[in-house]
Amino acid sequence: MTTDLASTYRTTLSTLFAERMRIKGATLEQQVYKAAPRLPRHVRKSAKAVLTALTLAENPKLARQLDEKALRKAGDEVIKHLETIDPWDLFVGKMLKWLGILSAIVIVCFVVWVWYARKEGWV
């Protein structure tokens, strides 16, 4: 039962990381590593707990050590968080950040141009 649950979490989390956060990786471990700075601390901790459970589930003797209740709680917490992420909102946020930087550069260039024009006596 636990190995089925672990494989279900592996596929579900991998697809959610790819779809919601646009994080691709060959394995779930790589995806969690790439997503770690963008995840809240409690979700990051739960994701790492799921990863350790997945590695234990690969070995039949070690799979007996797994706490299925804790695995479900941690996995559901990560899934719940990933389902609340809106990819379009992330895209809009990145574009607004880029436009903010661009507008700051334009303003600085305009101020430098006005200062230079006053210095040369054009204005």
How confident is the model at residue 103, as a pLDDT?
A: 98
Which ranges of the chain have pLDDT less than 70? 1
How confident is the model at residue 4, as a pLDDT?
A: 82
Chain mean pLDDT for the chain = 93
On whether the CB atoms of residues 63 and 57 are closer than 8 A, the answer is: yes
Q: How far apart are CA 26 and CA 120, in angstroms?
A: 59
Q: How far apart are CA 119 and CA 90, in angstroms?
A: 44
